[in-house]
Amino acid sequence: MAQPTTDTWSIFDVIGPVMVGPSSSHTAGACTLGYMAGLLFGHGLQSATLHLHGSFGEVYEGHCTDVAIIGGLLGLLPHDGRIATAYDLAEAAGISITLKPCHLGAEYHPNTVKFDLQGNDKRMVIVGSSLGGGKIAITEIDKIPVRLTGAYSSLVICFDEGQHSLMDFLKFAMEEGLDPVKTETYSYKNRIILDIEIRQWFESAIIEQITSRFDVKWVRYLNHISHYDQS
């Protein structure tokens, strides 16, 4: 039975995204997945291995799925015409790309990509799926099951159990005048990913403060991806 979605749908997701063709799931959604993975990895990407599962692995060439994912990794959004030149852009940026069609297992959505991202002494393995009509969800980060959809702006913090508590971060956010709307915690073994939904835009200085004040693995700010924007 197809799972009814629990995500919110704006009318701009339905009559949209405004995008460069040819496929909303295999091009636009793929691009957004790359974009989210790029944000999660942060600076210093040197190599990316893209494991393409299911329909992604079967038909990626025809839909430019690989091109779109790489464009996204480089920070381009689905309506950006530069996506078509993503391989050149990656080469110019010194990022090596490897493609591997694969089968991750029946439990994965048929349009799934597993990113193995490396650079600057860091490595991150991120799994995400393109859900149709350009919608996406990041479902795993370094084996930690998560659900990040880009539907809202959030502060994502990764740390080890025992180091800090949810309250430490919430208190910090409040002190900084941020307005946390909702939190979600995800864990695998003793590692925790905390997703704090924040409505307003905030300065990257806050990220630096968190990194210096707390003992965290990493912190990222993910800006909400809206299909309302079209240029």
Q: Which is nearer to other proteins, 24 or 154 (CB)?
A: 24
Considering only residues 49, 104, 116, 133, which one is a binding residue for other proteins as defined by CB under 8 A?
Answer: 133
Structure tokens at 99: 């493609």
Residue 104 interacts with other proteins (CB under 8 A)?
no
Considering only residues 44, 46, 58, 181, which one is a binding residue for other proteins as defined by CB under 8 A?
Answer: 58
Residue with tokens 């180091």: 163
| Residue ranges in 7-26 that form contacts with other proteins under rule CB under 8 A | 8-25
Residue 48 interacts with other proteins (CB under 8 A)?
no
Residue with tokens 């692995």: 57
What DSSP designation does 42 have?
-
Q: Which CA distances in Å does 176 have to 179, 200, 203, 218, 224?
A: 9, 12, 10, 19, 20
Asked if residues 105 and 57 have their Cβ atoms less than 8 Å apart, the reply is no
Number of shown-chain residues binding other proteins (CB under 8 A): 52
Tell the smallest beta-carbon distance from residue 55 to other proteins (Å). 4
Side-chain half-sphere of 14: how many Cα atoms within 13 Å?
5
Question: Within 10 Å of residue 56's Cβ, how many Cβ atoms?
Answer: 30
Residue 203 interacts with other proteins (CB under 8 A)?
no
Point out which residues bind other proteins (CB under 8 A).
1-2, 4-5, 8-25, 27-28, 54-55, 58-64, 66-67, 79, 81, 84, 87, 97, 99, 109-111, 130-135, 228, 230
